[in-house]
Chain A
Amino acid sequence: MKDRTMGRIVLALLLLMGLSACGPIEPWVKPYERDKLADPIMAMDSDAVSTAYIQHVYEAREGARGGEGGGGGGCGCN
């Protein structure tokens, strides 16, 4: 059941990517309209050294991993 759910997610992702290849797509957000997206507060991982560390802590304390992007750091597991 869990595998089926994951399979559907992957299928949806592939369909999305496939649809996007069906024809030329005009950028609907023009380069000159991206000033807010370029603001440093919109950077997803603005401090790699910090993000890597805290993800490492979670990896050490929880059973799940991945899917978040970024990575690296330290832990104490025993």
Chain B
Amino acid sequence: MLRRIISTIFLLSFGSVAVATVLPDDRTDVMYHLYDGGGVQIDGPSVLVRKKVGKSVSLIGNYYVDMISSASIDVVTTASPYTEERKQWSLGADYLRGNTTMRVNYTSSVESDYDAETFAFSVSQDMFGALTTLTLGYALGDDVVGRSDDPDFMRHLDKQMFSVGVSQILTKNLITQLNFETMTEEGFLNNPYRSVRYADPGSALGYSFEPELYPNTRTSNAVGLRARYFLPYRAAIEGEYRYFVDTWDIEGHTGSLTYIHPMGDFTFTGKFRYHNQTGASFYRDLFSRSQATNFRGRDKEISPLTSYTVKLKAAYEFLNDDGNKWGFFKRASVTASIHLLHIDYDEFSDLTALAPIGSEPLYQLDADIFQVFVSFWY
């Protein structure tokens, strides 16, 4: 099952900061994506189209598909491998009036056991000769959680997100962004398929499983700072830091460094990203007994972990603004990228090793993420 994360992303997407009082370029992207790691394969297409209507409105539409084949560590220890498909579409509009841009967006995501709808609105205002852009955002999410093996199972999850963002030009070579976002969720927050592990002397393995049980509410705050600098030669470097904290006692630090280097019609990008987080207060790799605490979780995503990502990306502009127009296209490029993701879990044991209880090795995840997309500007 694909969880609430899908709609969460769309809530968060409205915390982004615009840079100037102009509408985005008319553009179409056609992408193929592939995630391969930890026994999970997800691939599919994504098509994004943006087009101006008149001088003050820009419309955007996106259609996205995930085709999932999963035999992950969570699935093989407590359930059976599965395949699934998720389809998602979104429609939005930007309205420009003076130095103000208003954005609305609706997103719908549908899969066999999880439906999500998100409504979002934001306002951006340019100030001080367009040196500063202030963005305020609000989003509302309504999710319905089901179970593939129980047609009568249905739970709701409501979400709200508030964001404030400031984009600031500091020098001729330096631009910065500061984003603050707070999100509240209320409803069914755990995964209906996942289980926690507890010590059970009566079991041959020494442990058994029971369904996880999460709190019904979660509120999180995140503040992020980004800065991009134009180097003395034609290249750019970007640094980013994010601090995250929530009411489940997860505290996270995320940092990254990116280098962008154009070379003729090519643009190469390299990035290193680091993330470290503490675990949720109700997370345990092994509970002392059945129903040991009021809330119980063993999802590795809410466990203490450290992740590392190396990204390599190359873009080739095969049609550009120098007069070589191709039909009504002004520019066109093809881009390929790979992300190499490695996660070390501090308190999540690999039960597939079948080691004696208490001496299981810690799990590690390696995943390769590929993206190839063609972009057209018109």
Could you tell me which A residues sit within 8 Å of B by CB distance?
2-3, 5-6, 9-10, 13, 16-17, 20, 25-31, 33-34, 36-37, 39-45, 47-50, 52-78
A44 touches B244 (CB 8 A): no
Docked-complex contact A71 and B242, CB < 8 angstroms: no
Assess whether B164 is interfacial by the CB under 8 Å rule. yes
Q: SS class of chain B's interface: helix, strand, loop or mixed?
A: strand
Q: A42-B236, A61-B343 given as contacts; is B371 within 8 A of A27 (CB)?
A: no
Given contacts A61-B301, A64-B244, A64-B254, contact A78 B1 (CB under 8 A): yes
Residues B153-210 near A (CB distance < 8 A) = 161, 163-166, 169-173, 175, 177-181, 183, 191, 193-194
Chain B residue with the shortest CB-CB distance to A9: B223
Chain B min CB distance to A20 (Å): 7
Q: Say yes or no: B5 contacts A75, CB within 8 Å.
A: yes
A74-B242 CB under 8 A given contacts A37-B230, A44-B226, A69-B165: no
Expressed in whole angstroms, the minimum distance between the Cβ of A47 and any Cβ of chain B is: 7
Q: Are A72 and B175 in contact (CB under 8 A)?
A: no
Q: Are A54 and B307 in contact (CB under 8 A)?
A: no
Given contacts A6-B223, A20-B128, A34-B172, contact A74 B6 (CB under 8 A): yes
Contacts of B107 in A (CB 8 A): 72
CB contacts (< 8 Å) of A2 on chain B: these are 245, 251
Chain A residues whose C-beta falls within 8 Å of the C-beta of B254 in the assembled complex: 64
How far apart sit A25 and B131, CA to CA, in the bound complex (Å)? 10
With A13-B180, A71-B12 known as contacts, the answer to whether A53 contacts B46 (CB < 8 A) is yes
Which of B75, B129, B248 is the one whose CB lies under 8 Å from A78?
B75
Please indicate the chain B residues that have their CB under 8 angstroms from the CB of A56 in the complex: 5-6, 9
Task: State whether B223 touches A47 (Cβ < 8 A).
Answer: no
User: How far is the CB of B337 from the nearest CB of chain A, in Å?
Assistant: 7
Distance in angstroms from B183 CB to nearest chain A CB is 6
Distance from B127 Cβ to chain A, minimum over Cβ atoms (Å) = 8
Beyond A27-B128, A58-B275, whether A74 also contacts B86 by CB under 8 A is yes
In the assembled complex, the Cα of A20 lies from the Cα of B129 at a distance in Å of: 13
Contact partner of B66 among A47, A61, A63, A75, CB < 8 A?
A75
* A49 near B166: Cβ-Cβ < 8 Å: no
Contact A74 B301, CB 8 Å, known A20-B128, A44-B19: no
B151 to chain A, nearest CB (A): 19
Say which residue of A29, A40, A58, A70 sits within 8 Å of B171 (CB atoms).
Answer: A29
B236:A67 contact, CB within 8 angstroms: no
Determine whether the beta carbon of B267 is less than 8 Å from that of A49. Answer: no
Residues from chain B with a CB closer than 8 A to the CB of A77 are 1-3, 5, 191, 301
> Which residue of chain A lies nearest to B245 when distances are taken between CB atoms in the complex?
A2
Is there an interface contact between A6 and B228, defined as CB atoms closer than 8 Å?
Answer: no
Bound-state CA distance A5–B244 (Å) is 11
